[in-house]
Copies of this chain bind each other. A is one copy, B any other.
Amino acid sequence: MEQTIVKNQTGTFISAANLLEHWQGHRRLTRRVIEAFPEKEFFEYSVAGMRPFANMVQELLAIAAPGLRQITGGETEQLNEHQEHQNSKAYLLALWDKATAEINQLWVQIPEEKFEETILAFGQYEGTIWSTILYFIDNEIHHRAQGFVYLRTLGIEPPYFWQR
């Protein structure tokens, strides 16, 4: 194996356009996990005193589009994890789809030099914009995986992890 050492790794690992597609791929998978839950269990079922999956989805909705609104120059909003859900999966799925469109619309407003800037997300979490956005995605993967376990304990086969 060639033992080349590449000294300068300040270049691109992933482009902004590809990162958006990567994120939306994860969001499509999370949407399928929401769909896989029976209505009642989505809002009520949990394991080991953790939150029902609906509450995790409320958190994800509270983060993605509102977080991007701040990044693109909007007001810094409070993290509101308790938005209305009307005890309806269809209602939360509609909010999910609304967020999908809003994320696409906001994303293209971010100039690429901005990803290295620092922000205080939701007025409380300091970091670069790239690390903040990766945190949004990683947090979604993390909670969705908990949803996978909930489904398995309910005897329901989750969607394939690799299907985006």
Contact = CB atoms under 8 A, between A and B. Distances in A.
Interface stretch (A14-22, A36-44, A80-88, A94-102): A14-22
Nearest to A128: B18
A152 B109 contact: no
Interface of A: 1-20, 22, 26, 47-50, 69, 72-74, 107-113, 115, 130-131, 133-135, 138-139, 141-146, 148-149, 152-153, 161-162
Query: Copies of this chain, how many?
Result: 2
A153 B48 contact: yes
A108 B143 contact: no
Contacts of A47: 47, 149, 152-153
A8 to B, nearest CB: 8
A31 to B, nearest CB: 16
9 contacts: A2-B73, A5-B109, A6-B110, A10-B15, A10-B16, A13-B112, A47-B47, A143-B145, A149-B149
Contacts of A141: 138, 141-142, 145
Contact of A14 (B49, B130, B145, B149): B130
